[in-house]
Each structure stands twice: as structure tokens, then as C-alpha cells.
Amino acid sequence: MAKLLSYISLAVIITFSLFAFMAYLISSDSVNITKPLTDVIVEVAQLPEDSKVIEIDKVKLEPPAPPEPMPRNVVTIDVASDTHNLSYQSAPISMTGGSTGFKQYQGMNNNEARPIVRVNPKYPIEAMRKGTEGWVQLAFDINEVGKVVNISVIDAQPKRIFDKAARHALRKWKYQAKSVDGAAVYQKGRTVQLDFSMDQQS
């Protein structure tokens, strides 16, 4: 019986101690712990002042002057004023240019096509360097608009030296086509000789 009372007393003491400890814990949780707030420094960045705008007057540039056209080795014949110089005769007519010459052969009369533009052939560089001279006889046709077509080499001296230059020049010639009853007609079998002479270079 004495042991039972001692156990009960011990249990009461332990229970009381537990309740007291719990009460202490509850009271400590209710305490507000406040920490001092640190000062927050707000820096306001100062915007740079607007830079002054410098206005630049626009300068109007004058367009460059167009280059002067290079002179071309083209002979233009005025049909109205030079008709007396273009009449065809039975004998060949010799006409010379800056670097070459040409001879118009017989077989034409005043009623046939008349040349209005003649381009002198360029002297081949290799032939000029060697001092080679010569001539080329060409056959050609004239179509209804006065253009030279169907060019072929009849003869040349020396062979194949001046053929290309002569054909290239004759291809640029322009004629006033022959007309029959007011209509232009196609002409075949025209001939011409282009001369290449070093004397005409000076």
C-alpha cells in the first residue's frame, strides 16, 4: 500500500512538471520577436542631359559631267549636198580615209543605191607593226533598208591579212536603197575594194 501511494505521488509530480513545462513553452511562443529593419537606400539615377543636336545643312552635289564621246571613224555623207560627188562612173572612183581607202567598181549608175555612211577599216596592229600594205576586194548585197549583207571576199593581197578588218568595216556601211516605182528593192552583186596603205597613216 505504501508503494502504491509513492507511485501515485511520483506520477502526480511528473504530470505537474509536464504541464508546467508545456505552459512555459506556450508562453514563450507568444512573445513577438521583432528585428530592427535596416534602412533601404534607393538611388535615383540621374538621366544625362539631352545633347545638343547640331543641324548640318545638306549640300547638293552637282552630277558629274558626262564623258565626252570618243570620236568614231565614221564618214557621213549628205546625200542632198554631195550628190555630185557620189555619182558613179564607168571607171573606179578612188576615195581615201584616215587610215585606209576604198574604190567603188563599175556596174552602178545614178539610179542605184547610194552610200550615205562609210566606216573606214581599222589597220591591223600586226600588219602596221610589220609595215604590210595591201587591199581586199569584197562582194556584197544591199537589202531593202540599205543594210550591207552577204559579204564575201573576192580577192586580197596579201591573203587573209586584211580580210577580217575589211569585212567588219563594210558591215557597218549604210546605203540609201534603190527604189523602183517608189518601192525599195534588194540589190545583189555589188563590189568594192578597200585599200590598206602605210602612206595614209602619216
Q: What is the pTM of this model?
A: 0.47
Nearest 5°: CA angle at 48, between 45 and 51?
Answer: 170
Phi, psi (rounded to 5 degrees) for 37: -80, 135
Residue 176 pLDDT > 50: yes
pLDDT value at residue 43: 67
Provide the residue ranges of all domains of the chain, joining segments of one domain with +: 74-201
Task: Report how far residue 84's alpha carbon sits from residue 81's, in angstroms, rounded to the nearest whole number.
Answer: 8
In this predicted model, what pLDDT tens digit does every residue of 106-152 receive, in sequence order?
444 445 788 899 999 999 999 999 999 999 999 999 999 999 999 99
**Residue 114 CB: number of other CB atoms within 10 A?**
19
pLDDT band at 20 (very low <50, low <70, confident <90, very high): confident
- Cα–Cα distance for residue pair 50/60, rounded to 1 Å: 30
Question: Is-contact 75 119, C-beta < 8 A?
Answer: yes
Residues with Cβ within 8 Å of 155's Cβ and at least 6 positions away in sequence, in order, are: 136, 137
Q: Residue 180, SS3? A: strand
Report pLDDT for 89.
31
Output the pLDDT for position 52.
60
Task: Give 41 or 146, the one with higher predicted confidence.
Answer: 146
C-alpha cell at 149: 549583207
By mean pLDDT, which of 21-30, 142-151, 192-201 is the weakest?
21-30
Q: Among the listed ranges 78-87, 95-104, 161-170, which one has the minimum average pLDDT value?
A: 78-87
Cis preceding-peptide flag for 158 (omega within 30 of 0): yes
160: left (phi over 0), alpha (psi -120 to 50) or beta: left
- Homologous superfamily in CATH for domain 74-201: TonB (3.30.2420.10)
